[in-house]
Amino acid sequence: MAIAAKPADTEIIRRSDSGVAYVDWGAIFAGAVVATAISMLLVAFGSAIGLSLTSFSNRTSLPGLGIVLALGLWLLWLQVTASLGGGYVTGRLRRKIGDAQRHEVEMRDGMHGLVVWAGGVIVGSLVAAWLATLGTVGATNVAAGAVSNPQAASSISDYYVDLLLRPGNGAPANAAQPVTPEARAELGRLLSMNRITSADSEDRSYVLQRIAAATGMPEQAAAQRLDTTLAAMKARADQARRLSVLMGFITAASLLVSAVAAWWAATKGGSHRDEAVDHSRYAAWR
């Protein structure tokens, strides 16, 4: 009697990827280096056309709306371009884990691009904070640069003191009294404290006496000049506040768009990696 041989049991052993880390820090580092290089290139280009981080550090006048929008568009271009380059390199270089489904591969590629973007934001924030400690106005503070810069703020205060102390029209030449540097500095401090708007303020009465004595104007005319100067100062402060808010929104929007760009570029790089897309024709020398 023939005995049929039983087929040998086959044990399927699935290859384990437990030794492979999901986060490929080498690819992230390479993408971050590329993104930083692109940023430096665009910063150099922006400096050549007057859109560098320090272009407005010594301004005593506020930038116009057009300048703020131009700077915002340049910032958006810089961040998106760097994120696209760094994200693509990271996605193309990332090691693929063999047991992942297609949607999981795309998710991991995108996450790697997002990490590159986040690292760039952190490094950029640290650099901006370091520049701020050196007295340099960052890109996000350009709109209020003339106010935040101590030297510019001093010049602005001197300008408004000059407005207050100009000789009055029709006043006798010998009616005006000379103003000492100490008195000018005191007027500047009183203006900066913004405590001379109230009608019954002692500081206001003191300032009016100073203006009348220095210009030869009657007190009523001095009060009118003071009110006009204070209105101009308030209008300037309101403009600086509006420009600061606008620049903040532009910066936040550019960061959000650049995050999406880094994610998309990393997934595109991963797709090209899996499909073995050939880009050598763009780098061929012959």
Q: Is residue 190 part of a domain?
A: yes
Neighbouring residues of 248: CB distance < 8 A, sequence distance ≥ 6: 140
Give the model's pLDDT for residue 12: 41
Query: 111 by DSSP, 3-state: which?
Result: helix
Please check whether residue 245 lies inside any domain of the structure: no
Q: Residue 15: its pLDDT value, please?
A: 45
Q: Which domain holds residue 102?
A: 25-138+251-274
Q: Do 77 and 55 lie in a common domain? A: yes
**Block mean pLDDT (10 aa), the chain, length 286:** 49 48 88 91 78 50 68 86 94 81 88 92 78 48 44 63 74 62 79 64 80 80 84 82 83 92 94 83 66
222 and 268 fall within a common domain: no
Total of domains in the chain: 2
153 and 120, same domain (yes or no):
no
33 and 132 fall within a common domain: yes
Question: Is 134 found in the same domain as 164?
Answer: no
- Is 196 in the same domain as 56? no
> Same domain, yes or no, for 44 and 184?
no
Q: Which pLDDT value is given to residue 233? A: 82
- Is residue 29 located within the same domain as residue 103? yes
One domain, residues 88 and 64: yes
Instruction: For residue 54, tell me if it sits in a domain.
Output: yes
**10 is a domain residue:** no
178 and 130 both lie in a single domain: no
